[in-house]
Amino acid sequence: MSTTLPRLTSPAPPHRYRRTRVGPWRRGLVLAALALLLGLLLVGHTWIPNRNGHLGSLVETFLPWYGLVVPVLLVGALCRRSATAAVAVLVPALVWLSLFGGLLVDKAGPGSQLTVVSHNVGAGNPDPAHTARVLAASGADLVALEELTPQATATYEATLAGTYRYHVVRGTVGMWSRLPLSDDGPPGQMDPSRAMRATVTTDHGRLAVYVVHLWSVRVSPGEGFSAGGRDAGADALGAALAADPAERVLVLGDLNGTLNDRAFAGLTAQLRSAQAVAGHGFGFSWPATFPVARIDQILVRGVQPTRSWTLPATGSDHLPVAAGIRW
């Protein structure tokens, strides 16, 4: 009797799935889309609506900082080894350079005939005498101050008297000058406690100088970017400048906004920024501890800026801004 043993068979090998390789042009599509959206934001920021919460103005206030997203996207593209994402990152990079690349070049030149300084000295400044000494040592011919309090004004008047023979104070703004100065009163329909116009007599002719402190803005969850008061002040200033017959004009002050903000289109259409014409970098002035925006401005009409810079911190929450000009 014979016994047939069952035939032993080896189990069938498991089915092996072959991994499909994705090429460099098909990887990183999400990164590429984000890069294109960033480029669209930079080139089309004026399309962002401003009716509800002044969202457009809020984006434009910090517009240069969106450039920091570009290297982040580029690192992501390299990590993913995505050619598509790398090419897409070029779009926001080129747009950012076209908007702000010119500010990175040092445009300062020699030959200033007049040096001006503008400084929001801060209502809560603990040592206005120190601030005044720093400003007097700057060598400026004209010094415009904003956010003066009645108590601090007396300190500035006493400390600056030895350097500046002439001065005018109106409300919370004032001007100190080495050159003869006449008070022309509040400009146009602007708040008389936050704006003034004066005429400075120089060896090269008369110069109209505005000192302005526009209303502050706030960001809150309920109201968004509350800039209504500031925008109304900017419109009033623009109207006053349009009606001003003076050939040579300076506007010095804390505008509580950057010139990228559409709210200042009426000003930038009539004047040039000293920082944009003769500065080096963005010239951020606020907050003093870590400046992220240039809200303190020196604007000109009929004169040529030759240099623009910021001074060291003085105890205020703003940095002083300075410029040299010539006829």
Tell me what pLDDT residue 26 has. 81
Tens-digit pLDDT profile for residues 230-254: 999 999 999 999 999 999 999 999 9
pTM exceeds cut of 0.85: yes
Q: Parse the chain into domains and list their residue ranges.
A: 29-101, 114-326
d(CA 310, CA 320): 6
Tens-digit pLDDT profile for residues 187-229: 999 999 999 999 999 999 999 999 999 999 988 776 678 899 9
Tens-digit pLDDT profile for residues 75-96: 999 999 999 999 999 999 999 9
Tens-digit pLDDT profile for residues 169-181: 999 999 999 999 9
Which of 21, 23, 40 minimizes the C-alpha distance to 88?
40
Q: How confident is the model at residue 9 (pLDDT cuts 50, 70, 90)?
A: low
Fold for 114-326, please state it.
Deoxyribonuclease I; Chain A (3.60.10)
d(CA 239, CA 219): 27
- Is residue 3 pLDDT above 60, yes or no? no
Tell me what pLDDT residue 11 has. 62
Please report, as a single letter, which amino acid is at residue 109: G
The kind and range of the H/E element at 73 are helix 69-80
Tens-digit pLDDT profile for residues 35-77: 999 999 999 999 999 988 899 999 999 999 999 999 999 999 9
